[in-house]
């Protein structure tokens, strides 16, 4: 089996050099997604339904951990061949936004992916990536990409101190850089100043009718110092219940849970509840 050729492009962007890493296969998959969206007239659908339809096209795609940890310097990594849970979600959202806006070039895609993945939409070294999903929710809402609906659908205050990355720097090779470590510590301080809401897992079934197909579902955890342990997409199935479209774990593939979302969480002791965000229609 031949190793795929990695293409690295350097583009002038925001007056700085931005490295992009992807393979010819990624471009091929991107073009296929755009082609299918036109055949299925997805642009006419709501952004939430487009997210689901694009996410479903990735069913059967392998899970792989740490997909963004490529190279020694922070680059925009494109990988549509394999996903972790976060890259599955962000690619489904980004591709849906492109379809809705009829922006169909690969450069449109990389610009939108940068906008979605990095603080204030700008790639500026490792700490600029939105590593904590609660931080992503805050930043994306501030910039009009999503609305965090956790509070309005019945959420309770999420009382937790976030410090996982800074206290476990051995898991993050980039944090051997002392400046990056201090930057991440500052990010954690900012997160801890904010007020977040979540729906405890035992209450999900009661508010399930307020969750829409295409909503972004972040699963909270009791792991010390960590805010979110898993992310995915809400999808209403034929049973009338909300299920979970996601990239599950190592050794598994993108799929829809057999159990409704409430039942899926009930069986996991590390999962405590959910935060819910709704993608906004692009302007």
Tell me the per-residue pLDDT of 20-30, one tens digit each, with 9 for 90 and over: 999 999 999 99
pLDDT greater than 80 at residue 13? no
Tokens of 201: 């897992």
Is residue 3's pLDDT more than 50?
no
Banded pLDDT at 145 (limits 50, 70, 90): very high
Three-state DSSP at 111 gives: helix
Which of 115, 79, 75 has its CA nearest to residue 94? 115
Domain 7-279 has CATH 1.10.3670.10: yes
Which residue in the block uniquely carries the two structure tokens 């680059």?
75
pLDDT for 18 equals 64
CB distance 34 to 40 below 8 Å? no
Whether the per-residue pLDDT at 70 is higher than 50: the answer is: yes
What per-residue confidence (pLDDT) applies to 71? 82
Write out pLDDT tens, residues 200-212.
Answer: 999 999 999 999 9
Beta bridge partners of 35: none
- 36: Cα within 13 Å, side-chain hemisphere: 15
Is there a contact between 252 and 17 (Cβ–Cβ < 8 Å)? no
Q: Is 104 helix (H, G, I), strand (E, B) or coil?
A: coil
Mean pLDDT of 28-55: 97
Residue 4 has pLDDT above 70, yes or no: no
From the list 256, 282, 241, 239, the residue with the least C-alpha distance to 112 is 282
CB contact burial 97-136 (16+ within 10 A = b; e otherwise): bbbbeeebebebbbbbbbbbbbbebebeebbbbbbbbbbb
* Rounded average pLDDT over 223-236: 98
Specify the DSSP element, H or E, that contains 218: strand 216-221
Q: What residue ranges do the domains of the chain occupy?
A: 7-279
Percent of the chain with pLDDT over 90: 90
């Amino acid at each position: 089996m031949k190793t795929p050729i990695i293409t690295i492009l350097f583009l002038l962007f925001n007056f700085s050099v931005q490295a992009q890493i992807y393979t010819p296969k990624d471009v091929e998959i991107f073009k296929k997604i755009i082609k299918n969206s036109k055949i299925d007239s997805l642009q006419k659908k709501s952004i939430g339904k487009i997210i689901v339809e694009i996410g479903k096209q990735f069913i059967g795609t392998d899970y792989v951990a740490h997909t963004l940890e490529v190279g020694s310097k922070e680059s925009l990594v494109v990988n549509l061949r394999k996903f972790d849970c976060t890259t599955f979600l962000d690619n489904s959202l980004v591709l849906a936004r492109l379809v809705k806006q009829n922006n169909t070039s690969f450069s449109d895609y990389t610009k939108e992916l940068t906008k979605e993945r990095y603080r204030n939409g700008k790639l500026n070294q490792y700490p600029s990536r939105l590593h904590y999903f609660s931080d992503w929710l805050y930043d994306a809402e501030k910039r009009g990409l999503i609305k965090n609906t956790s509070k309005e659908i019945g959420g309770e205050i999420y009382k937790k101190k976030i410090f996982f990355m800074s206290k476990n720097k051995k898991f993050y090779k980039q944090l051997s850089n002392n400046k990056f470590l201090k930057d991440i510590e500052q990010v954690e301080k900012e997160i801890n100043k904010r007020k977040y809401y979540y729906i405890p897992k035992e209450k999900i079934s009661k508010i399930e009718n307020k969750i829409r197909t295409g909503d972004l579902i972040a699963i909270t955890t009791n792991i010390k110092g960590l805010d979110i342990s898993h992310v995915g997409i809400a999808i209403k199935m034929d049973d009338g219940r909300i299920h979970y479209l996601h990239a599950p774990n190592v050794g598994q593939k993108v799929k829809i849970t057999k159990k409704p979302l409430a039942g899926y969480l009930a069986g996991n002791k590390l999962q405590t509840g959910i935060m819910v965000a709704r993608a906004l229609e692009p302007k």
